[in-house]
Amino acid sequence: MKEKDVYDFPPRNSVKDFFGKFRRFVLLAVALVLLLIISFESFYTIKEQEQVVLTTFGKAKAVTEAGLHMKIPFIQKVHRVDTTIKGFPIGYEEATNKTIESEAVMITRDFNFVNVDFYVEYKVSDPIKYLYASSDPVKVLKNIAQSNIRSTVGSYDVDSVITSGKYEIQSKIKEEIMEDLAAHDIGLMLVNITIQDSEPPTEEVMEAFKSVETAKQGKDTAINNAKKYRNEKIPQAQAEVDKILQQAESTKTKRINEALAEVAKFNEMYEEYVKNPLITKKRMFYEAMEDILPSLRVIIDSGDTEVQKFLPLEPFVEGGGN
């Protein structure tokens, strides 16, 4: 065997063709990867209840319409902002429901201490201001809420805070927070704030307030029962009044008609009397006797004083008849 046959290499043209094909393959793969990256970076999707802030060389623009959108790769950047309603507690830990005394304990107008827990609900109203107007807008909102809560609770007495004034306090705090948010303009809006719980800081005071609340409920029950009784009795009394008035009106009409009839009868008799007074007198006499005589009792006495008399005789006659 010749030495040339043992150490025989591929021709130079074959090696050159192999490296050329490999280079083209690498370039094609790199181009494909770059194309995929550019395609991926050129499109983005906005979900429902989500907004996007698109920045171009530091200049921000809000994109609020949901769906597929385009952007310039590597130049424009997408910052997503969740616009769903969120919330945080004040005065307690949401996970453990444990009281945070530094937030919950407050002093009222009448110098009493009270524990009050709140829950604040908010959402993003302006995504650009939310991202760039403040480093932590939620913390700013919480500070605003705590400030207004303390000032408002401090303007009410403890009885109002714990029992009757909760809704009024909530409304007042909400209005003040909304005004302060508008002034700070951090891209957040207050949805609602509610008092979760309010109670005295000690068991003794708590029991006293429970007793007061029970007494108030008893008072309200008594008032409602009295109103119910009044509402039941007034219609009955009104019906009785109407009945009496109707009876009185009927009696009045009856008496007037009887009087008018008597007047008419008298006038007729007077007219006849004027025509012939004697005959009218006799007729009236006879009519009177007809009414009187049937009820008269006639006793005939001979006047003999020697005979024992028992007058009247009817009881004896009736008794003897029996």
Give the pLDDT confidence score for residue 226 in this predicted structure.
Answer: 87
Report the SS3 class of residue 34.
Answer: helix
Give the pLDDT confidence score for residue 76 in this predicted structure.
Answer: 77
pLDDT in tens, 86-107: 999 999 998 898 989 889 988 8
Give the pLDDT confidence score for residue 172 in this predicted structure.
Answer: 95
| Residue 295 DSSP class | G
CA dist 188 and 129 (Å) reads 8
| Residue 8 DSSP class | P
Q: CA 55: distance to chain centroid?
A: 46
**Mean pLDDT computed over 295-320:** 59
Give the pLDDT confidence score for residue 123 in this predicted structure.
Answer: 94
pLDDT in tens, 259-300: 888 888 888 877 877 777 787 778 778 888 888 877 776 666
Give the pLDDT confidence score for residue 195 in this predicted structure.
Answer: 93
**Residues 68, 70, 75, CA angle at the centre, nearest 5°?**
140
- List the structure tokens of 19: 């490296």
For the stretch 27-36, contacts whose Cβ atoms lie closer than 8 Å and that sit 24 or more positions apart, written own/partner, are none
| Residue 154 DSSP class | T
CA dist 213 and 236 (Å) reads 35
pLDDT in tens, 182-202: 999 999 999 999 999 888 766
Give the pLDDT confidence score for residue 1 in this predicted structure.
Answer: 46
CA dist 158 and 202 (Å) reads 13
Give the pLDDT confidence score for residue 2 in this predicted structure.
Answer: 47
pLDDT in tens, 22-31: 677 777 776 6
Cis (ω within 30 of 0) for the bond into 10? no
Kindly indicate the confidence band of residue 308, based on its pLDDT and cuts at 50, 70 and 90: low
223 conformational bin, left if phi > 0, alpha if psi -120 to 50, beta if neither: alpha
Most confident among 1-10, 179-188, 200-209, 259-268 (mean pLDDT): 179-188
- Residue 11: how many CA atoms within 13 Å on its side-chain side? 3
CA dist 100 and 170 (Å) reads 20
| Residue 162 DSSP class | I
Residue 57 has pLDDT above 60, yes or no: yes
**Mean pLDDT computed over 120-140:** 92
pTM of the model: 0.54
Residue 180 has pLDDT above 90, yes or no: yes
First to last CA, the chain: 184
Average pLDDT, the chain: 80
- List the structure tokens of 243: 């009945």
Residue 243 has pLDDT above 70, yes or no: yes
CA dist 226 and 228 (Å) reads 5
